[in-house]
Amino acid sequence: MQKPLKNEYPDNKYFSYYIEQVDNQNVIEGLTTQKEMIINLYKSLSEEQKNFRYDIGKWSPHEILGHLTDTERIFGFRAFSIARGEKQSLPGFDENEYAEAAKFSEINFESLLEQYRLVREGSIALFNTLSEEVSSQIGFANGNPVSARALICMIAGHELHHLKILKERYLGL
């Protein structure tokens, strides 16, 4: 699946920023590579690193993992709905409210990592069934016109954004 064209998503700071993070022209290949990177990175973290917060009110890497999984579920559902021809506008979400309600820090780390793996593998399996024609269909999410493949690309870009933050602010890489 190719990256979306600029007319398939709104020109705003979230959509544009996340999509522009993705270098790989084949988005599904990028998602597959990212899965391995995330799993390997998280498996290498000590307990102290998993629970570290670089500032008051910031999520720990443990919580970021839960956030990545939740966000993929939401963006993936939006992409699925639009690919299936959904005409209704799909709702937005507040990531901070979702994270607070989820209480990720209370969920066993191995369980969160397994959820991440399963969600990503399910996403890849689904996205591999979408043709370029179907994936370029436009629907509405969070009040914005967007294609299914733009949302898929946003999954990858959102994760790249958080990987960069993890490396710079949490791990000093």
pLDDT tens-digit readout, 105-132: 999 999 999 999 999 999 999 999 999 9
Averaged pLDDT for residues 60-85? 98
For residue 25, what pLDDT is reported? Answer: 80
Give the Cα separation of 60 and 52 in Å (integer): 5
Report the alpha-carbon distance of residue 141 to residue 162 in Å, rounded.
22
**pLDDT in the model for residue 6:** 94
Superfamily of chain region 6-170: dinb family like domain (1.20.120.450)
pLDDT band at 13 (very low <50, low <70, confident <90, very high): confident
pLDDT at residue 172 in the model: 82
Q: Tell me whether residue 23 is exposed, middle or buried, using C-beta atoms within 10 angstroms of its C-beta: 0 to 12, 13 to 18, 19 or more.
A: exposed
The pLDDT value recorded for residue 131 is 96
Q: What is the pTM of this model?
A: 0.94
> Within 13 Å, how many C-alpha atoms sit on residue 98's CB side?
16
CA distance 41 to 36: 8
pLDDT of 173: 63
Angle at the Cα of 150 (from 4 to 170), degrees rounded to 5? 115
Q: Mean pLDDT across the chain, nearest whole number?
A: 95
